[in-house]
Chain A
Amino acid sequence: AQSVTQPDIHITVSEGASLELRCNYSYGATPYLFWYVQSPGQGLQLLLKYFSGDTLVQGIKGFEAEFKRSQSSFNLRKPSVHWSDAAEYFCAVGRGNTGGFKTIFGAGTRLFVKA
C-alpha cells in the first residue's frame, strides 16, 4: 500500500539557519512527489513537485527537494530560513491512471522558527 512517512513531528530552527525536512515514501513504482505548505488559517499551497528527470527540483520561496530513489526519500531543504517560513509542511505522493489521480499525504512536520 502507498504510504508517506515524515519522521519529525516538529522541528525548531533559528532564523537564518538551514533547514531539512525528511520524507520517505512507499510505493510500487516511482510516484509523483510533492511538498505542500499550510500556514495557519490557510489552505495548502504547493511548494514543488517531482515527476521525472533532474532529481533536484527547485520550488517557490527558495525551497528545493532532492529525490533519492535508492532511499525512497524526497527531503525538503532551504539554505536560510525566514520567520515567515513557520508553518506545517506536508510531503505527498501521487499516481494517475485512466481512473483519476490520487494524492496521499504524510502526517506533516511543523516548523518553528526562533529569532
Chain B
Amino acid sequence: DAGVTQSPTHLIKTRGQQVTLRCSPKSGHDTVSWYQQALGQGPQFIFQYYEEEERQRGNFPDRFSGHQFPNYSSELNVNALLLGDSALYLCASSTLSGGGRSSGELFFGEGSRLTVL
C-alpha cells in the first residue's frame, strides 16, 4: 500500500521563478492538504483540496495556488518566488466523507525541499 508520495524531493530555483510541486495521496484518500515548514518551525497550513476544489486556506498570498485532479493527486504552484519561500513543502492526505466528517488523521509525505536563491 503506497503512502503519500511527493516530487521532486529537492529543487533549487531563483527569485521570480515559478515552481510546481506534486503529490499523490495514500490509496483510498480523497483529500490533500499542503503545508510549508520553514527551518526550525512547525508546518504552516497553506490550503486543502477536496473534490477538486480548494476547501480551506491558510494565511498565504495568492502566489500560492493549487489544483486537485480527478485521481485525487494534487499540485502546489508558487509564482514569483521569494527568498522567504525556501522551505520544506509537505503534502498530507486524509479522507472527508459527506458532510465534511473526518477522522482528522493526516498522512504525510516526506516533503519537497525548495531552495530559492
Contacts and interface: CB of A to CB of B under 8 A. Distances in A.
A50 to B, nearest CB: 10
Interface string A34-62: 10100001111110010100000000000
B100 A44 contact: no
Interface centre among A43, A98, A105 (most CB of B within 10 A): A43
B104 A96 contact: yes
Q: How large is the interface on B (under 10, 10 to 19, 20 to 34, 35 or more residues)?
A: 20 to 34
Interface in B45-88: 45, 48, 50, 55-56, 58
Contact of B108 (A6, A44, A49, A107): A44
Interface residues of A, number: 28
A100 B43 contact: no
B45 to A, nearest CB: 6
A96 B42 contact: no
A45 B100 CA distance: 23
Contacts, number: 76
B90 A100 contact: no
Contacts of A42: 110
Interface string B10-54: 000000000000000000000101010000011111001010000
Secondary structure at the A interface, as helix, strand, loop or mixed, is strand
A90 interface: yes
A100 B42 contact: no
A44 B45 contact: no
B100 A102 contact: no
5 contacts: A46-B107, A49-B105, A99-B56, A101-B94, A104-B45
